[in-house]
Structure 1
Amino acid sequence: MCAAVYVLSTITGYVLTSALLLKCPTLLHRRKRETFISKHISHRGGAGENLENTMAAFKHAVELGTDMLELDCHMTKDEQVVVSHDANLRRSSGIDGKICNMSYSELPPYLGKLGVTFQRECFCEGGEDKRIPLLRDVFEAFPNTPVNIDIKINNDTLIKKVSELVIKYDREHLTVWGNASNQIVKKCYKENPRIPVLFSFPRVLQLLGLFYTGLLPFVPLKEQFLEIPMPSIITKLRDPNKLTRTQRFIAWLADTLLMRKALFDHLTARGIQVYIWVLNDEEDFQRAFDLGATGVMTDFPTKLKDFMDRNSISNPQ
């Protein structure tokens, strides 16, 4: 009987302590210093309004007032860091060749019309700017704009060169980098721990495990940005009538587990920003902000800005 009472009291104490620390995490952890806060994030520069990952897209987004540019990096044969999502140029340029096998001068221009990945049956037709830019072009053109860098390949030289560029342009306080791969994120952190990193996919799973077991408030976190999809948008990316029952269930389960206000509130209280991608509809913008997300990543920066203006969602200072 005494043993049962002891176990019960121990469990009760743990639950109460966990609940307290979930609400007040700074009792145990020092809040991470936020050198910038991003509510409005332009995915690939705004792939629904200009050709993705081009200087024209980035310029449009920055002039609009975006808080952050999201982009992707690869490396050419002559070790130039370029801004491009795909390793192979077939989709973007119509050329069946890999960026890593070409020098920068050999890279073909983008096609004049590209599909918008996160908007079903949507295409973007660009203007004159079809050039694949260098990462340094972005840093030079927008010295005060935070940039979210997805390191697309597990390449030590690429990671090192991105770090060198960040240091050269004095952007360690304006940059976040990473990838869904835990191996890439570990290499990024090892190369330059002063540049904040994203949660990798395995670390997101660990984060959820810690949250649902009540252990999260007790565990230190090195990452400063949680960047996750809103699983429910799958019905907007694919024809809902073509989704199987299993696919619908998986999307519902993932959405239920990931989209948790208590989790987002705890992380933001610890100075960890939460970005939800890639949202292109106003109902999804509203849901993300209602859940407590720090920022929304979109292909349509003008649409997101108009939504934020109408709903008095202020940009961070």
Structure 2
Amino acid sequence: MDARAPLPSIRGIGYSIRATSPEFEDLDAKLDEAERLGVDFVELPLFAWTLVVGGTVREDRLARLVAATRARPFAFTAHGPLAINLMDAKERLPRHLAVLDAAIGIAGAIGAAHLVIHAGCVRGDDDVEMAYVRQRDALAAAGDKAGSAGVTLCVENVFRFEPMRETALPGRLAAELDAIAHPNVRATLDFSHALLRCNDARVDFMKEIAALAPFAQHLHVHDSFGRPLTSWAIDEAERAALGEGDLHLPLGWGGIDWDRIANTCRFPPGTVVNLELNRRYWAELPDQIDVLRDFAGKLAAAPLAV
């Protein structure tokens, strides 16, 4: 079978490249590697490059990025700034909206199919339900802008860390997206984040991700054990040894049951399956692409979400 042949119901597979320079002068070599691996998508780390300053796009840098991403045999998705928080306090929300607008413009300029942004969180003493209202309103408006740019916003479930009071469980994120009901506002289902959040809340992981799956046009795939980071550890190798935290391990190294996910979750047509591997495990990438393609094939064999 042609390595690039599309899988039924799955739009394609890809992986997130890891930025090593804020000026992305090493991008050509990273895209050459992706070309050799025969993936369908590459996810670009907009959050790690100097593209937006004070909410304004640096047009000279964007022009260089557009030039660097032309004429490749794969498509692109993009991960927006991690700091965007549409549930932040009302007085700080305009900053987040400006950065989101900038990220949508960048994603449109490079032809990215999906722009991943993190679900919001509440850290202070704000009313949680009003914070969800702010997020719904902001996402609905951003969805209109994304649609005009030819981009789908894919809101990624995250987990609680630092002094975070609230971030949506996968099932709650599904309900929020259902309430917004915007064709350009969908989900990124991050399985490891979901396991961490569900274990923290002591709720059923499979039930929660099955609720979000029909909204998830984008998947972030990486392994972990779903254990919070609680031990004193200096190096990432120690965290891996303890099995704690958001480890971004190769598939099969952690405790996630990928076969059960494939048998339980039902995803919409056009889903992109994206590997998010920690840079320290990059030597595993070629073998992991084969594992990822096998997982995507199992997803493709399952009935579609309706």
TM-score by length of 1: 0.45
- Which of the pair has more CA radius of gyration? 1
The higher-RCO structure (CA 8 Å, 6+ apart) is 1
TM-score (norm 2): 0.46
